[in-house]
Structure 1
Amino acid sequence: MQPSLFSDLSDLRDRETGAITPFKTQLIKWVGNKQRYADQIITHFPRTYGMYYEPFLGSGGVMANLAPARALGSDVFAPLMEIWQCLAQDPERLKTWYADRWTWFQAGDRLERYEKIKADYNAAPNGADLLFLCRSCYGGVVRFRKKDGLMSTPLGSHPVVKPEKFAQRVDMWVPRVAGARFERLDYLEALARANAGDLVYCDPPYSHSQSILYGAQKFRLEELMEGIADAKSRGVYVALNIDGTKKSGNTYCEIPYPADLFEHEHFVNIGRSMLKRFQMDGQSLETEVVRDRLLLTY
């Protein structure tokens, strides 16, 4: 069902064990980014499937590790999807978006110029500004204020990656998403498009902690579960990444779902909470280790 991967990605899986070869190079920074743990997640995917769907695309870390031959990545957040569509359709333009802003940012007072780019984005949300902001903001936490929806994350203290290094990242990502197309879609519409034998990986915002982040898709958990149940009834494989445990495993996040919807449950250790690090001003957070729950309909 799943065709062979591109020739330059032939080493993606270990031929003997089938384990995924981790791809750690991020294109954009994003809260909830699963790229460092994607190889663990992918071990629970079916070995064969038709088309791959990722309706809460975010930073695309799982897709980049999987490098599917046919895929649809989607989200309702228009500026984010502009970035992915540009990567797929005109990667040189994506490099220029970043280089132009980085050069202007470095040529003056970095704080003032960061705030100017952020103000331009807030006045007219767009992918080009968001691309630079997510790589330069504090902790990569693209946060929006509840009262007015404006991005509020301050400038980070870290060095901002140079254009030539970002261009190298783009070149590494292009073949990994060559089989994908990207659309601005509601997650339920994306789920509804999947056919028998297809695979859908859902990574929605955490119910317990991410209500103000990155223009997150608004969703009701009950509605998501209904969409997953409908997909399962059509023979679609669905993997749901959702809250598991926090406080170093001492707090179990209760997530309501139909008893017969999922066949298996696994836990993935995703390390210390990026959001808590932002909220607690960079503390070491030994007590904020998080494990995600991976629920499978198959």
Structure 2
Amino acid sequence: MTDDPRGTSTDRVACIGPVAPFKTQLLKWVGSKQKFAHEIIAHLPRDFGAYHEPFLGAGGVMAVLAPARGFGSDTYPPLMEIWATLSREPELLKTWYQDRWTAFQNGDRVAVYEAIKARFNAAPNGADFLFLCRSCYGGVVRFRRSNGHMSTPCGAHPAIPPKAFAKRVDLWHQRLRGAQFDLLDYRDAMDRAAPGDVIYCDPPYSFSQSILYGAQSFQLPDLFEAIAKAKARGVWVALSIDGTKKSGGTYCDLPLPEGLFEREIMLNVGRSMLRRFQMGGQTMEAEEVKDRLLLTY
């Protein structure tokens, strides 16, 4: 197997060229990379064995890539219940959404949303979480530190109708037919990557996402250690992490292990929806941000 990540080898089964943008979202999710996932994918190795995404979230990068062999994972059970249902029982996913949307449309929307959220907080589950992701403010899935309950209010915009959502389910089911979804800690997910595979990591961001699910317990040095282990056994790793904020005026300086990453690429991701939420709708002209894409190859 060649050491050139853009070379060729019969040991690898995926070979990618330019990938077109794919903008149809399944989940509304703050921090989703789907809008510029094609730019991230352009920097992945040209050919590789399998694609691994251990911080799956809304699955935007995986959906744009549509890998022949993919492994998506995360640590939040309701989220992974959604992905497993998309893969195995897409019709059930449509039913989950339609049942909640119907109640939402026929009653007081805020009251129905709050009732669904209260039920979800009492017994977290994928069916309620699916609708909350689609109807909460800006897709900001925020949890209280005190009790772990989701606290995001109802969004101002109408929720997508069930027929339109069902079309998205069908489209995503087809695009991710080569993917396997698992409830796994990122370290276990990364350990199963074989030499010649590629891992894309999109963890909670240290400078901007401390209120989001999973962010409170996440430690970046632990991820660096897992990346180093993967790199040592011949796995290629790409990592999205804090870049700049406030229209490029503030560089998010993070201590990176020497020699772990070979390249750094800055990607413009526009204005932060999370900051819009935190600022209560104030003007966002000074809040454009860039992400860093760090590559071990």
Q: Which category of TM-score, normalised to the shorter sequence, fits these structures? A: over 0.9
Partner of residue 229, structure 2: 230
Partner of residue 13, structure 2: 2
- Aligned-pair identity in percent equals 65
- How far apart in 2 are the matches of 1:140 and 1:92? 23
| Partner AA of 2:270 in structure 1 | G
| Partner AA of 2:101 in structure 1 | W
Partner of residue 160, structure 1: 159
- How far apart in 1 are the matches of 2:137 and 2:219? 29
3-state SS of the aligned residue for 1:287? Answer: coil
Q: Offset of 1:219 from its aligned partner?
A: 2.1
Partner of residue 288, structure 1: 287
Partner of residue 103, structure 1: 102
Which segment drifts farther, 133-142 or 277-286?
277-286
Q: Offset of 1:147 from its aligned partner?
A: 1.1
3-state SS of the aligned residue for 1:291? Answer: strand
- How far apart in 2 are the matches of 1:267 and 1:256? 17
Unmatched tracts of structure 1, length 5 or more: 5-12
3-state SS of the aligned residue for 1:286? Answer: coil
Partner of residue 10, structure 1: none
Partner of residue 9, structure 1: none
Quickly say closer, same or farther: Cα 1:85–1:216, change in 2 above 3 A. farther
Q: Offset of 1:220 from its aligned partner?
A: 1.3
3-state SS of the aligned residue for 1:149? Answer: coil
Please tell me whether the aligned partners of residues 76 and 217 of structure 1 are also in contact (alpha carbons under 8 angstroms): no
- The answer on 1:219 being equivalent to 2:218 is yes
Q: Offset of 1:111 from its aligned partner?
A: 1.1
Unmatched tracts of structure 2, length 5 or more: 1-11
- How far apart in 1 are the matches of 2:186 and 2:89? 25
Partner of residue 129, structure 1: 128
**Number of equivalenced pairs:** 286
Query: TM-score normalized by structure 2?
Result: 0.94
3-state SS of the aligned residue for 1:150? Answer: coil
| Partner AA of 1:231 in structure 2 | A
Which segment drifts farther, 205-214 or 226-235?
205-214
Deviation digits for residues 172-225 of structure 1 (CA, Å, limit 9, x no counterpart): 111111000100000011111111000000000101121221344732111110
Partner of residue 7, structure 1: none
Please tell me whether the aligned partners of residues 77 and 216 of structure 1 are also in contact (alpha carbons under 8 angstroms): no
Partner of residue 175, structure 1: 174
**Structure 1 stretches of at least 4 aligned residues deviating more than 4 Å after TM superposition:** none
Q: Offset of 1:283 from its aligned partner?
A: 2.6
| Partner AA of 2:243 in structure 1 | G
Quickly say closer, same or farther: Cα 1:42–1:3, change in 2 above 3 A. closer
- How far apart in 1 are the matches of 2:39 and 2:283? 24
**Where do 1:186-225 residues align within 5 Å?**
186-216=185-215, 218-225=217-224
- How far apart in 2 are the matches of 1:161 and 1:82? 21
3-state SS of the aligned residue for 1:153? Answer: coil
> What root-mean-square deviation, in Å, do the aligned CA atoms of Structure 1 and Structure 2 show?
1.2
Deviation digits for residues 17-64 of structure 1 (CA, Å, limit 9, x no counterpart): x32111000000112100001011111001100010000000000000
Partner of residue 9, structure 2: none
- How far apart in 2 are the matches of 1:70 and 1:121? 33
Q: Offset of 1:165 from its aligned partner?
A: 0.4
Partner of residue 7, structure 2: none
Deviation digits for residues 147-174 of structure 1 (CA, Å, limit 9, x no counterpart): 1111111111101100000001011111
- How far apart in 2 are the matches of 1:41 and 1:69? 18
Partner of residue 64, structure 2: 65
- How far apart in 2 are the matches of 1:218 and 1:185? 15
